[in-house]
Structure formats: C-alpha cells, structure tokens
A and B are shown apart, each in its own frame.
Chain A
Amino acid sequence: MSRCENLLIGFFANRKYNEMIAWLQQPWPWYVAGALIGLIVPALLLLGNKHFGISANLRHICAACLPARIPFFTYNWKKEVWNLFFVGGILIGGWLAAQYLSNPAPVQVHPALAKELAGYGITDYTGLVPSQLVSWESLFTARGLILMVGGGFLVGFGTRYAGGCTSGHSIMGLSTLQWPSLVATCCFMAGGFLMANLILPFILQL
C-alpha cells in the first residue's frame, strides 16, 4: 500500500516538476519579469546601499584599463567593483538561462514586423539575437558594421553623456521620482522611435 502511495506521490511530484520546467522554458510574462527587475532596486539597496545601474560599468572598465589621465576616468574604480560583479552575474545568468531553461520554439514576432524584416532578408528567428545582423560574418557587411560598431558606440557615448541607461535612469531614477531621469527616459524613447522607424529601414536595406 505504502509503495503504491509512494509511486503515486512520485508520479505527481515528477509531473509537477516537469510542468514547472516546461513553464519556466516558455517566455516569461511581462508582469513576472517586471516585478523581479523592480525588486533588484531594493535588493541592491538592502545588501549594501548600492544604486541600480549598469552603464557605469563601461566607465569603470575604462578607468581600470585606459584612464589616460582623463579626469573623467581618474577615480577610485576599485570602490565600484561590486558593479562589475553584478554584471558578471548577468553574464552567467544569461548562460544558465540559455543552457537549462531555453525555449526550443522560434521567437514569436509581430506579423507586421516579420513582414518588414523579410523585405530586408531577415528571416532567421532561431535566436533572440538575429544572427543575420549580429554575428562575426555580419561584421563584414555594411549594415552589420553600422549596427554593431556604430550602435555600440552610440550606446556607450550616449549613456555616459546622459549619465545613465535604462536601469540607472528609467528604473532607478523614475522610481526615486527624479524628473531629470524622466527627461532622459523620454529622450531614450524618442531616439529609439526615430532610429527604428525613420533611419533603420535605410540601414537594413544596405
């Protein structure tokens, strides 16, 4: 009798486990992701009075590797080393998710976007990062070069000029009710809308 019960419990526990894994493998809904990201702000504050932000890491790496006596890069970057650990965690987290929780199905994309991208020959939806745009081979095409090297440069230059990125301004800044962060967030969005709708189509045609 007890063996039978054990088998039953085992069966249900196993089914529950499989269901859980299957649920975790699906793309997570926005409210789950949003809540978890929001909780990072108090987590960092409670763990050591640290303010959520990621783009500052780029500055810390510059300060550590190539300060070149530029005042902007001569500060005690070692005090900010926690931020580099944080970003290291993001990298490992990305690896873990891809390794153990990856979604086998192709990325779901809005039909209008799929149609537009097909016009530029972008049809591969196997990865979250489109390999037809961001890859080593793509680096030798005009559009890949603009996207990766030009886009990356703008991300680094723009975030530092603005004093923060989506995490520092849009999440940390807005949640502490700082109006300059609202200005920055509006400009991030405005820049994104302009690029995606008016300029990117010409770049993708290259």
Chain B
Amino acid sequence: MTPSTPEIVNDFEVRSLDTMCVNESQEQHPWWYNLKYLAVGLVFGIVFVKAEIISWFRIQEMFRLQSFHMYGVIGTAVVVAAISVALIKKFRIKTIHGETISFTPKKFNKGQIIGGLLFGFGWALTGACPGPLFAQIGTGALAVTVIVLSALAGTWVYGYFREKLPH
C-alpha cells in the first residue's frame, strides 16, 4: 500500500516547508546505533520532569506572566544551543562518525503564523508541547495517551488538507 522508496518531490517538500526535525545524515547504520538517541532522550525526559516543564501549572503561570521559570528555561536553552551551534560552525566540527554537520535554512510561510497560533491554543489547553506529552505518559499519567492520539489525528488531518490550506 505504501511506496517504501522516498519520492524526490516529497523530499523537496520536506525541505522547503518542514526542514525542522528532519534527518540530515547520509550514514547507514544498524538499528541499534539509534540507542544513542534514546540515551539523549532519557536525559531530556528526566530534565522535563525535574524542572516541572511537563507541569500544566507551570505553563499556565507562563501564559499569565506569573512566573519566570519557563522563560528562564527556554531562554537559557536558546543561548546555550546558539553558542554550541556557533562553535560547531566556526570550527567546522564533524560528527563522531566524521560526517559534516549541515544546517538547512528555513523558509517563511503563512503556516508559521496560522499554525503557530493554533499550536499556542493547544499548548495553553493541554499545558504541554509534544515532548512533555511523552514524558507525562512516562510519569504514569496514562490518560495523556488520549492527548497524543488526538495530536496524531490533528497531524493526519493537516496532511490530508494540506494542499487546500494557505501557505
């Protein structure tokens, strides 16, 4: 039912509209090489819970300007990441497998405004962005799977109507 080979046209679409979150590597490795990403995710998950980023209450405080916490977290993260990226670019640091690290420029489209606002609504409602949703399930809040399933439905519906939506 599904073509297993990637289509060039679609790869272009992946790049032009959705460059974030896309695998840039050309390397072919056995599946267990992916466990290193599981390890990074593990640290991330612990930080999510321990810094209360997954807390519905913290998100509500953020959107009511009642707490600096979330602004501090995101601000520090951006600064640390920006310095790291600048260093990687300046010294042309390669991956541990010797591959060149690449960056794809992101193009502007109306989706960043309309979709951004819609995601903002969802963020304030659920009190979580996609990452924390998975950490919440891990902490035992199993009802959050309903939110994830609904988010999958939202993603699917977007894919279905994508050609008709303004971009």
The total of interchain contacts (Cβ-Cβ below 8 angstroms) comes to: 575
**Complex formed: what's the CA distance from A62 to B70 in Å?**
30
**B42 contacts A96, CB within 8 Å?**
yes
Chain A positions 54 through 94: 1 when the CB is less than 8 Å from some CB of chain B, otherwise 0: 11111101100011111111111011111101111111111
Considering only residues 96-151 of chain B, those with a C-beta below 8 Å from chain A are 96-97, 99-109, 111-131, 133-144, 146-151
**B55 contacts A128, CB within 8 Å?**
yes
Closest residue to B25 on the A side, CB-wise? A49
Among the stretches A4-12, A13-21, A182-190, the one at the interface with B is: A182-190
**B150 contacts A158, CB within 8 Å?**
no
**A151 contacts B61, CB within 8 Å?**
no
Report the interface size class on chain A: 35 or more
Interface SS of B by simple majority: helix
Considering only residues 52-82 of chain B, those with a C-beta below 8 Å from chain A are 52-64, 66-82
- Are A88 and B41 also in contact (CB < 8 A) when A154-B154, A155-B151, A172-B20 are? yes
Considering only residues 28-62 of chain A, those with a C-beta below 8 Å from chain B are 28-59, 61-62
**A128 contacts B136, CB within 8 Å?**
yes
Tell me which residues across on chain A come within 8 A of B33, comparing CB atoms: 48
Considering only residues 154-184 of chain A, those with a C-beta below 8 Å from chain B are 154-181, 183-184
Tell me which residues across on chain B come within 8 A of A71, comparing CB atoms: 7, 9-10, 13
Interface SS of A by simple majority: helix
Q: Closest CB-CB distance, A32 to chain B, in whole Å?
A: 7
**B125 contacts A163, CB within 8 Å?**
no
Query: Which of B25, B35, B93, B125 has most chain A Cβ within 10 Å?
Result: B125
**B125 contacts A150, CB within 8 Å?**
yes
Q: Which of A94, A162, A173, A176 contacts B48 (CB 8 A)?
A: A94
**B119 contacts A75, CB within 8 Å?**
no
**A176 contacts B103, CB within 8 Å?**
yes
User: With an 8 A cutoff between CB atoms, is A118 at the interface?
Assistant: no
**A171 contacts B74, CB within 8 Å?**
yes
Q: Closest CB-CB distance, A16 to chain B, in whole Å?
A: 19
Closest residue to A97 on the B side, CB-wise? B49
Q: List B residues at the A interface (Cβ < 8 Å).
A: 1-7, 9-11, 13-14, 17-25, 27, 31, 33-64, 66-82, 84-85, 87-88, 93, 95-97, 99-109, 111-131, 133-144, 146-160, 162, 165
Closest 6 CB pairs of A and B: A191-B120, A93-B45, A89-B41, A34-B76, A94-B138, A53-B21
